[in-house]
Amino acid sequence: MSTDARVRRITVFCGASSGCRPVHLRAVAEFGRALAEAGLELVYGGARVGLMGAVADAALRGGAAVTGVIPRHLARHEIRHTGLTRLLVVEDMHQRKARMAELGDAFVALPGGLGTAEEFFETLTWAQIGLHDKPCALLDTDGFYQPLLAFLAHAAAEGFVSRRDVDGIVVCERPGDLLPRLAARARSARSACSARSACSDGDAV
């Protein structure tokens, strides 16, 4: 994250499918517009199809810079978005996730399937083991992520996940609420980091 911990660039995970219900397309388009209106940049998986294409198109129409990161084998299948500000072609899925994680100041999972869940859980795991302190969020459109949140609550109750890690996830149903919540979480993380630094400095004296 940037040194002042402000959120400038959002890495988004979402489906390459549009799903069965129009509510999800509307929600991701609204999120893309809100991101552009806030003057933020979008980082995503680089495809032109499904919810991935919808959020990128909405952000682009709003004037946002959009960076796509796509593995070479998917780029060959002509699903890559050709109208992006920047398209990074990487060798494989592992490089894609690493690059998207590096570029983003915060992570948001919009509705999606196995790939979306895998990417989001990896960012949570990296936060859990201290590799980053970037905010992680779910856009819970029409309760889409309630079953996943129920699983996390169950895992915490069974002692496999820290309740603190679960509570640290930003969850919003409305796209317009998500970006302010992410900014607030980043400020909170910055304050906690400053407090830890002050304590360390005091101990060293």
pLDDT at 153 over 80: yes
DSSP letters, the chain, are --TT----EEEEE--SS--S-HHHHHHHHHHHHHHHHTT-EEEE--BSSHHHHHHHHHHHHTT--EEEEEEHHHHTTT-B-SSSSEEEEESSHHHHHHHHHHH-SEEEE-S--HHHHHHHHHHHHHHHTTS----EEEE-GGGTTHHHHHHHHHHHHTTSS-HHHHHTSEEESSHHHHHHHHHHHHHHHHHHHHHHHHHHHHHH-
Whether this model's pTM surpasses 0.85: yes
Mean pLDDT of 114-119: 96
pLDDT value of position 188: 79
Mean pLDDT of 166-189: 91
Domains of the chain plus CATH, in order, are 9-200 (3.40.50.450)
pLDDT at 195 over 80: no
pLDDT value of position 196: 46
pLDDT value of position 186: 84
**Residue 4 banded pLDDT, cuts 50, 70, 90:** very low
pLDDT at 75 over 90: no
